[in-house]
Amino acid sequence: MNALRVSGRFGVGMMGLLLASVLFGEVQAADGSASLLATMWKWAPLIGQGFLLNILISVVAMTLGTVAGLGLGLGQMSPIWPLRHAAQIVTQFFRNAPWLVLLFYCILLLPYEMRLGGLVVAMPAWIKATVGLALPVMGNVSEIVRGGVQALPPAQWDSAEALAFNRRQTLWMVILPQAIKPMLPPWMNLYAVLIMATPLVSVVGVEEAMTLTRFALSAENRSELLLPMYLALLIAFFAYCYPIARWTARLERRFAVKL
């Protein structure tokens, strides 16, 4: 309830800022040019479609990264030491490499198409970019999984062993079900980081919201459009991310009480 009120006030503030910047732009604009609001309205559908691509990329990258990261995270706790060390090194590498560099890596070094058996799968830029974003997600999910599992009291392993569960059963039936809840808030945090990283793909030319905004700005070529257009883009991301952040914070508080 309180969160709603706060975000409501915040939304009003942001919209006010946007309107002020538009008005400011109108005053600056040369006589006879089209109104800023009308110009922005004209571009809104296209940029909105771009924003949907941002969301699509984030969802796909999150799914890929989570599945791969879960495997990698379990690998980090494997009793087989070469596997454990390899998983730890891979995890640290993808956690510590900058997202933008990994993105370039995938864009420039992945092939244009891949052969899966007899099937030829085309790899358009946005797919490669998604893979590029999934890699750091994988590294971070791996750490979240390890942290979540290791935060459980060791007595859980012992008591499961005393009940004659084997290691695999213990992991899937005793440990993971308990570890999932505390893993949820950092995982959602990671999603927020990811969605805010999606504009990076504009640097490699994928036509998402940021690319299209820059495209619109250069097509219009009016400097008074800069402020309101970028502000509108920021607000769009804010409107998407802020509720997720509040929700995450609430879950975090709820789970923290139980400790």
Partner 1 sequence: MNGVWEWFAWLNQAHGINLPVFYDSYDRQRFFAGLLTTLELSALSVVASVVIGLIGAWLLGTSSIIARRLVHGYVHAFRNTPPLIQLSFLYFAVGNLLPRLEGVGGSSRPLLDGFAWAVITLSLFGGSFNVEIFRSGIEAVPASTIEAAESLGFGRWRLYRHVVLPLALRICLPALSNNLVNLVKTSTLAYAIGVPELLYVSAQVWSDTMNVREMMNLLLVAYVGIVGVLSFGLRRLETALRVPGLGTVGGRI
Site residues (vs partner 1, CB under 8 A): 6, 10, 13-14, 93, 96-102, 104-105, 108-109, 140, 144, 186, 189-190, 192-193, 195-200, 202-203, 210, 214, 223, 226-227, 229-231, 233-234, 237-238, 241-242, 245
Q: How far is the CB of 245 from partner 1 (least distance, A)?
A: 6
Of 64 and 235, the one with the shorter C-beta distance to partner 1 is 235
> Looking at the DSSP assignment, which residues form a beta bridge with residue 114?
121
Q: How far is the CB of 173 from partner 1 (least distance, A)?
A: 26
SS (H, E, C) 69-127: HHHHHHHHCCCCHHHHHHHHHHHHHHHHCCHHHHHHHHHHHCCCEEEECCEEEECCHHH
Amino acid at 115: R
Which helix (H) or strand (E) segment holds residue 57: the answer is helix 36-76
Of 171 and 197, the one with the shorter C-beta distance to partner 1 is 197
SS3 165: coil
Of 83 and 193, the one with the shorter C-beta distance to partner 1 is 193
Q: How far is the CB of 149 from partner 1 (least distance, A)?
A: 14
Q: How far is the CB of 177 from partner 1 (least distance, A)?
A: 20
CA atoms within 13 A on the CB side of 237: 21
Of 27 and 116, the one with the shorter C-beta distance to partner 1 is 27
Q: How far is the CB of 161 from partner 1 (least distance, A)?
A: 27
Cα-based distances in Å from 11 to 4, 5, 36, 228:
10, 10, 21, 15
Of 77 and 203, the one with the shorter C-beta distance to partner 1 is 203
Give CA–CA dist 181/176, Å, rounded: 9
